[in-house]
Amino acid sequence: MARKISMKQAVNEALDQAMAADPTVICMGEDIVGGAGGNGEMDAWGGVLGVTKGLYAKHPKQMMDTPLSESAYIGAAIGAAACGMRPVAELMFIDFMGVCFDQIFNQAAKFKYMFGGKAETPVVIRCMVGAGFRAAAQHSQMLTPLFAHIPGLKVVCPSNAYDTKGLLIQSIRDNDPVIFCEHKNLYAHECEVPEASYTIPFGEANIVREGKHCTIVTYGLMVHRSLDAAAVLAKEGVEVEIVDLRTLSPLDMDTVLESVTKTGRLVCVDEASPRCNIATDISAQVCMHAFGALKAQIEMVTPPHTPVPFSPVLEDMYIPSAAQIATAVRKTIKGSK
């Protein structure tokens, strides 16, 4: 498996293979085909960062540019899903979900329940998440907890290209609405990815590093910051186990509890704002189900409760760093019973 591709290519390949395999899979969104005044397919942009570039030429009947009206085309995608299509709508930035929130949490998430299981909504809403892109407070948020909060939605946030391809194909085949969160600062990250189509099931966390002293539970870009912290801690003789949740809803608590039971220590790292986020959720569940296993207080590493700053200096300070994560791990070791 020697071929390496980026996370951006992985998204493109997953959409390509899913559309080729199933004519009911359609993509819609702002500029996902072209725009920017280009003359033909070749100079088409393929979305704001070029993720869908080249797909229109291969699947002209399954790719649709939409007007700049999120509530209109997200609603259209959800309606098409209820009528037998498998739409993948690209919403650019998760920050814009607010304008079509009713369509998502009060319609798509509820159809199956409200219609007694007779309606299914196999829609995928792709969006970019996360800070570090110098895109200021309205294009940089990690709003994953908002969607994990809603029963009826599935929430995916991969950390690498391999997981991205398998989880996106799984999202498209899944019969429930999926919010698929792509961290923009991971688009260039490369790893080995099979050329063939494959899926990764929801609700299975990945242990990206094994260790016995402390468990870090995280997802998305923070997986990489945690790995950096683990490399530093290893030199101090501290072996950290890192659990990459991959899907935030459903959530693989079994793997989290198993790991915490083994290590006795927990650090939750979340790029989302500190109140009511994935870190607080995991911490609460571990307290409830594995309190006896804990040898020390749980630590959380999150940004401060502020908008994402536009100043590059402040933005870099805002995002949790490997140094902060390492400090939190050391606190759990020091604070042990």
Partner 1 sequence: MSTITPIVMPKWGLSMKEGTVIEWLVEEGCIITTGMPIIDMETDKLANAVEAPDPGILRRKVASAGDLLPVKALLGVMADQDVSDAEIDAYIAAYVTPVATDEEDSSAQAFQYIEVDGIRVRYVQKGGSTGTPVLLIHGYGGDLDNWLFNIDALSEKAPVIALDLPGHGQSAVKLPAGVNLVAQAGFVVHFLDAINVTRAHMVGHSMGAAIASQIALDAPQYVASLTLIGSAGLGAEINSAYIDGFANAQSRRELKPVLEILFSDPALVSRQLVDDVLRYKRLDGVGSLLVELGQALFCDGKQNEQPGLKLGSSCPALVIWGRDDRVIPVNHASNAPKGATVEILEGVGHMVQLERASEVNRLIIQHISA
In terms of Cβ atoms closer than 10 Å to its own Cβ (0-12, 13-18, 19+), residue 41 is middle
Q: Which of 43, 102, 254, 316 is close enough to bind partner 1 by CB under 8 A?
A: 254
Q: Which is nearer to partner 1, 65 or 239 (CB)?
A: 239
CB of residue 234 vs partner 1: minimum separation in angstroms?
7
Number of residues forming the site for partner 1 (CB under 8 A): 17
Q: Which is nearer to partner 1, 201 or 312 (CB)?
A: 201
Q: Which is nearer to partner 1, 35 or 250 (CB)?
A: 250
| Nearest by Cα to 172 from 10, 22, 66 | 22
Report residue 35 as tokens: 């725009």
Report residue 29 as tokens: 């969104």
CB of residue 300 vs partner 1: minimum separation in angstroms?
26
CB of residue 158 vs partner 1: minimum separation in angstroms?
14
Binding mask 143-182 for partner 1 (x = CB under 8 A): -------------------x---x----------------
**Contact status: 210 vs partner 1 (CB under 8 A):** yes
What SS3 state is found at 310? coil
Residues forming a β-bridge with 249:
155
Q: Which of 128, 200, 230, 245 is close enough to bind partner 1 by CB under 8 A?
A: 200
Q: Which of residues 286-315 bind partner 1 (CB under 8 A)?
A: none
**Contact status: 3 vs partner 1 (CB under 8 A):** yes
Q: Which stretch binds partner 1 (CB under 8 A): 32-40, 202-210, 292-300, 313-321?
A: 202-210
Q: Which is nearer to partner 1, 73 or 219 (CB)?
A: 219
Which of these is catalytic: 59, 139, 183, 224? Answer: 139
Alpha-carbon gap, residue 62 to 89, rounded angstroms:
12
Residues forming a β-bridge with 4:
192
CB of residue 136 vs partner 1: minimum separation in angstroms?
38
Catalytic-residue membership of 139:
yes
Give one DSSP letter per residue of 267-299, joined into a string.
EEE-SS-STTSHHHHHHHHHHHHHGGG-SS--E
Alpha-carbon gap, residue 4 to 214, rounded angstroms:
31
CB of residue 22 vs partner 1: minimum separation in angstroms?
12
Binding mask 180-199 for partner 1 (x = CB under 8 A): --------------x-xxxx
CB of residue 203 vs partner 1: minimum separation in angstroms?
9
Alpha-carbon gap, residue 72 to 57, rounded angstroms:
25
To the nearest 10 degrees (0 to 180), the angle between helices 221-235 and 322-334 is 50
CB of residue 39 vs partner 1: minimum separation in angstroms?
37
Sheet of 247-249, strand order: 63-65, 25-29, 86-93, 124-129, 178-183, 154-156, 247-249
Which position has the token pair 């085909």?
Answer: 33
Question: Which helix H or strand E contains 90, and what residues bound it?
Answer: strand 86-93
Sheet of 266-269, strand order: 206-209, 240-244, 214-218, 266-269, 299-301
Q: Which of residues 219-238 bind partner 1 (CB under 8 A)?
A: 234
Q: Which of residues 42-101 bind partner 1 (CB under 8 A)?
A: none
**Contact status: 284 vs partner 1 (CB under 8 A):** no
Residues 214-236 as b/e (b if ≥16 CB within 10 A, e otherwise) read bbbbbbbbbbbbbbebbeebeee
Q: Which residues are part of the catalytic machinery?
A: 139
Interface with partner 1 by CB under 8 A: which residues? 1-3, 162, 166, 194, 196-201, 204, 207, 210, 234, 254
